[in-house]
Amino acid sequence: MKHYFKKVEHRLRKGNGEFLAFSVVSVLICTIAIYFIAIIQMSSCMDDLSKAVTAASRVAAIDENLKDAKKDALDIAKYQLKRNSAIKKVSVDITYPVKNEWTSGNYILVTVKAKIKTIAPIKTKIHKKQILVTIEGISGQSIVIPSNVAQTGILGGSDATNYTSWASRLGFDCRPVAQLWLKNQTYSYNIATIGGLYCVAVKPTFGKTGDRIRVCLEDGQYFDCIMADVKGADATNPYGHVKEGKVSVVEFYAKGDPSNSASLASPIGKSSWLGKKVKKIINMGRYPRL
């Protein structure tokens, strides 16, 4: 009996040693896995930070002054990073590396900073990305869409007019722009263009027919247009047509069947624009050929 108990004690001690070794190896494997996932997570966050600084610098370069540039760049950076829960406390700084003045052609250094918290049990650090850009010096009146205006975002085909059919029939203020397009009927993304500018209709809030405008979207994208027409009384909101309780700011003048004014080419517009809200529109003055 004594011999039996010694054998049992020996097996238990041997088992405890194996269990201890297994526990140590398990902890080591879990730690390696956590840090491996954290590295992937950090790489993804830094990639998002790079995209955010690119978008922020793009919108900052077209602003009229440093104060507006900082505000707009921060708004865009936060928009770009809001879907990444590991990124917190986003901030933007803009400095002059050469001349200390906001003038066209001068350089600005745009910096986006944020705290990044991965699953690894380490202290959260502030990371940053920087990009050097040239101030474009766009001059004109900026009309910001108030945040309390519920927007549809860019709709494309569901807020578009068949310019192929209607251009030759338009009169009054629309006629000069239409005649200019009829001389050289070009399209981009199925939208009629004049000198590389997209033909659109917006409310008189943003200007008058023949004006050049820059449409700035909430994610930092923008596209340049010519006002081929102004939205009339059917657009009951000061900023555009009301569709299902929301406002569509931009109406495209698009490609369609010349014999069927209701037809439209599809898709209308660039896919990356679709659904994006308009942050502001910059009126850059009269198109020079009009």
Residues 42-69: tens digit of each pLDDT:
899 999 999 999 999 989 998 888 999 9
**Rounded to whole angstroms, how far apart are CA atoms 187 and 160?**
14
pLDDT digits (tens, 9 = 90+) for 158-184: 888 999 998 888 878 899 999 999 999
User: Does residue 9 surpass a pLDDT of 60?
Assistant: no
**Rounded to whole angstroms, how far apart are CA atoms 160 and 242?**
14
Q: Strand 278-286 relative to strand 211-217: parallel, antiparallel, unpaired?
A: antiparallel
Q: What is the DSSP letter of 234?
A: T
pLDDT digits (tens, 9 = 90+) for 228-256: 999 888 889 999 999 999 999 999 999 99
pLDDT of residue 2: 53
pLDDT of residue 289: 79
User: Does residue 13 surpass a pLDDT of 70?
Assistant: no
Range 21-34 average pLDDT: 72
| 3-class SS of residue 140 | coil
Q: Using alpha carbons only, how large is the chain's radius of gyration in Å?
A: 29
Total-model pTM: 0.77
Other CB atoms within 10 A of residue 171 CB: 7
pLDDT of residue 21: 62
Q: At CA 168, angle to CA 167 and CA 172, rounded to 5?
A: 80
**Rounded to whole angstroms, how far apart are CA atoms 110 and 95?**
7
Angle between helices 66-81 and 2-61 in degrees, nearest 10: 150
Task: Locate 20 and state its tokens.
Answer: 């201890």
pLDDT of residue 153: 95
DSSP letter for each residue of 56-69: HHHHHHTSSSHHHH
pLDDT digits (tens, 9 = 90+) for 169-224: 887 889 999 999 999 999 999 999 999 999 999 999 999 999 999 999 999 999 99
pLDDT of residue 12: 47
pLDDT of residue 157: 80
Q: Are 209 and 229 in contact (CB under 8 A)?
A: yes
How long a stretch of residues is the chain?
A: 290
Task: Locate 80 and state its tokens.
Answer: 């770009």
Range 11-38 average pLDDT: 67
| 3-class SS of residue 121 | coil
User: Does residue 271 surpass a pLDDT of 80?
Assistant: yes
**Rounded to whole angstroms, how far apart are CA atoms 94 and 110?**
5
pLDDT of residue 18: 63
Range 30-39 average pLDDT: 78
pLDDT digits (tens, 9 = 90+) for 85-139: 899 999 999 999 988 999 888 999 999 999 998 887 777 789 999 999 999 866 7
Other CB atoms within 10 A of residue 183 CB: 7
User: Does residue 8 surpass a pLDDT of 70?
Assistant: no
Q: What is the DSSP letter of 154?
A: B
